[in-house]
Amino acid sequence: MRVLVGYATAKGATRGIAERIATGLEQAGHTVDSRELSAVTSVGAYDVLVLGSAIHNGQWLPDAADALERLGPDLRGRAVWAYSVSSVGASSSLLSPRVARYLRRVTPEPKAVQALRASAADVRGHRFFAGTIAPGDWPGVGRIVFRLMGGHYGDARDWADIDEWVATVRAESDDDVR
């Protein structure tokens, strides 16, 4: 099975997650291409798409949203898995536990993922992963808000959670091939 792991990254954390996803799928025997979404011109050669983006201001990066719009007709009927990388993931967070619990309950899927679901693509799932934040990543006011929300700088990527999600993608995709 041929898989595209497409991503849009701002500081590199999303690229790191994309590389981990690609490695997990390759270890299962799949042929995998990992590429920035801005460089993807066609998805016709792929059986499964795993698409993700960093989140800024609650939304996928413009490169990712633009790629989905550009590739829209080619996504029809394709199995698609989506992931978003922000300060709060499904299992880890760069914010305080109390703030993270609240945000997990109230944060909607990014508009790009909602549009993907509304298209003719066969969206199999979407997952939030926590990323990384360094002191210089947010502007002055953003740093203050980040600290008020109990934020801490560093790498909050939960590699075990990512690997479990990849195992789900692999299992369900393998079922499609059988």
Beta bridge partners of 126: 82
Tokens read off for 115? 């549009």
Percentage of the chain exceeding pLDDT 70: 98
- Tell me: pLDDT of 21 over 60: yes
| Of the candidates 135, 82, 25, 168, the residue with the CA atom closest to the CA atom of residue 34 | 25
What pLDDT is stored for residue 177 in this prediction?
55
86's CB contacts (< 8 A; 6+ apart) are 54, 55, 128, 129, 130, 131
**Whole-prediction pTM value?**
0.94
Domains, in order of start, for the chain: 2-171 (3.40.50.360)
The Cα–Cα gap between 85 and 51 comes to 11
